[in-house]
Amino acid sequence: MSNPLKDRLVLVVDDESRMIQFVRMNLEAEGARVIQAQDGIEALRQVRDQLPHAVILDVQMPQLDGFETLQRLREFSDVPVIMLTVRADEEDRVRGLELGADDYLGKPFSPRELVSRLKAVLRRVAPEAERQEILRIDDDLSIDFRNRQALVRGSPVKLRPTEWRLLYHLVQNPGWLLTHDMILAKVWGPEYAGADEYVRLYITYLRQKIEPDPAQPKYILTERGMGYKFVDYRKR
């Protein structure tokens, strides 16, 4: 069986540096790539900017606790989250799960249990597109999730981080209309609500890089006055 942690990007959020290093060491031993945050504000920024494949989130943190961080996170991301806490009582577990956590682990825990639970979550929630690593849209366009780039007629196209985040969310929702505010929340953050010009500008950038004819797009379609949708490749 393949290792679902290999080359996956995992965000570890904890205000204790020793705990971050402990988790990092065990995840990297399984082939994962690890980034970190020591408070909820930084965690939200990392999720939006880096698009990790999973988040390990401590409950007790300064500024925003784990519950509030998770609540804000679920406003723009479906990334799988495992919560860590020294309080493993039922009320905390239920609260975390109701806010959108995928699993819960009480401190102290064994590295083997953490790795096992994280692998199980990744197997359960990984989108079909990401399981494929490279998603072929048609003969001209493929999406390389591992390297976070587009392949146009077989050649890699360099995308800026914001361009990749925009393409990622469009591709993960094939055939579905994403409104301007939905895109802004997912790619830039909810504080950008109403800044439609950001979306229009980056849609233009993206079309110039992946569309055969940007003036007559066939992948990123406009729903005038509403938003955009990516062609539904599942029907091909």
- The per-residue pLDDT for range 135-159, each reduced to its tens digit, is 899 999 999 987 889 999 999 998 9
Q: What is the pLDDT of residue 35?
A: 97
CATH topology of domain 160-235: Arc Repressor Mutant, subunit A (1.10.10)
CATH number assigned to the domain with residue range 9-126, chosen from the 4 options 1.10.620.20, 3.40.50.2300, 3.40.720.10, 3.40.50.300: 3.40.50.2300
Are both 9-126 and 160-235 of the same fold? Answer: no
CB distance 48 to 187 below 8 Å = yes
Domain limits, the chain = 9-126, 160-235
Burial class from Cβ neighbours inside 10 Å (0-12, 13-18, 19+) for residue 41 reads middle
Within 8 A by CB and 6+ apart from 172, the residues are 127, 129
Share of the chain above pLDDT 90, in %: 58
Burial class from Cβ neighbours inside 10 Å (0-12, 13-18, 19+) for residue 70 reads buried
Query: How confident is the model over 160-187, as a mean pLDDT?
Result: 91
The pLDDT-based confidence of 126 (bands split at 50, 70, 90) is: low
Question: Helical H runs in the chain?
Answer: 17-28, 40-50, 66-73, 90-99, 111-125, 128-131, 161-171, 180-187, 196-210
Q: What is the pLDDT of residue 124?
A: 78
Share of the chain above pLDDT 70, in %: 94
Which of 167, 154, 158, 157 lies closest to 219, judged by CA? 167
Q: What is the pLDDT of residue 83?
A: 92
Which of 88, 89, 103 lies closest to 55, judged by CA? 103
Whole-angstrom Cα distance, residue 64 to residue 70? 9
Q: What is the pLDDT of residue 77?
A: 86
pLDDT tens, position by position, 205-229: 999 999 999 999 999 999 998 999 9
Within 8 A by CB and 6+ apart from 108, the residues are none
